[in-house]
Structure 1
Amino acid sequence: VANVSHELKTPLTVLKGYLETLLDTVPEEQSRLRRALTQMDNQSNRMEALVSDLLLLARLEGTNADNLSQAVPVHGMLKRMRENALAISADKGHSIELDVPEEARLIANPAELESAFGNLITNAVKYTPAGGQIRIHWWQDERGAHLAVSDNGVGIDPAHIPRLTERFYRPDNSRVTETGGTGLGLAIVKHVMIRHNGKLEIKSQLGKGSVFTCHFPAERLVSKPTAVAG
């Protein structure tokens, strides 16, 4: 899978380059052609995201956790992700609350941590209807550090929760078209947590929303617990 995904990167880059050039040169009045080119561009972007996620997942599954761990400033990372989420949300008018102490630090691989947290926050934006509420909450206690991303979105039938971290598993196939996701996000989160000796906990109710919580062990704390879950 990793080899095939890598080989797909070059032809995809060429296709995307020509599509972008064509979109810049085709006159506005040729609406049918522009519509076709726009759809092709959107699908090539989706294919590129899929290839990228496949390569990342193959690396996470096929290699041992490396020694790139460092004291990651979690507040700054999550603050930037909140700003990105608001940009993605755009006209949906989501309320995205950030409840993370400024001194929050975690011994972790920053790139892997960013991938895991980014997937959870992006999912919350995708599956929360316009005007919905999303909360990004970080706390520490005697058990370790915890990040909860909660929303009041469409929710998930609890029967599906045990399979949500499987590759390409989706409770509702119609979401593939609606969100343009790759179906690999939660599998990536799961493997990042395994590599950090942690676990992903999922709670959800249909029509009421979901809570995705990353639990990290106490040995990954930079300092003693400073906050209790609220």
Structure 2
Amino acid sequence: MFEAKPFNQFLATGWLAILLSSPLQATEKSAILDKIKLPKGFSISLFADNVPNARSMALGKDGAVFVGSLRNGNVYALQDSDQDGTAEQRHIIASGLNMPNGVAYNDGALFVAELNRIIRFDNIDQLLDNPPKATVVYDQFPSEKRHGWKYLRFGPDNKLYTAVGAPCNICLPTEELFSSLLRLDSDGSDLEILARGIRNTVGFDWHPKTNSL
């Protein structure tokens, strides 16, 4: 069985893989990779090129790479069964979603952040070929599209973190959730605003030793 590794473990071994959001000819792929400058001892290869509008990723416990998209409404799962650094299988977990940009994996479930809600696919590792119906976790986010796409992560406290961007370039929105960094329990309860005044959040992480956000 494939042992899932955090992405920083792949980095530590000097191996990197990338996704391309549209199919390209072999020469075009090579040209893109050749432009990426890496530290000595590192190499890079193409992991998949059949994931249109790929935006963010999460790693499942059995090695599946889950990919969210911004505009085409799909969520994908990629499998590299022979562990050669290239995904041989692509599954469409869901389609027709509203800006399913953010993906997060926790305890066998895939969480997806759409424009105005978070949904969950349970037991996803065993159901890649026949994904389950999504369960709505939280559906009270604003529906404003500008800066509305969301990133999604589980923190060291096992809570879900996401954000709601500003509905404009420069403004003072009246809706409480706009321009904020948020935290909630995995069942959608106990929503908290951790920070305000953030125009748009395009990712976040925690210090590996202090757990500071």
Shorter-chain TM-score tier: under 0.3
Which of the two has higher C-alpha Rg? 1
**Structure with the higher fraction of residues in strand conformation:** 2
Higher relative CO (CA 8 A, sep ≥ 6), structure 1 or 2?
1
Tell me the TM-score normalized by structure 1: 0.24
**Structure with the higher fraction of residues in helix conformation:** 1
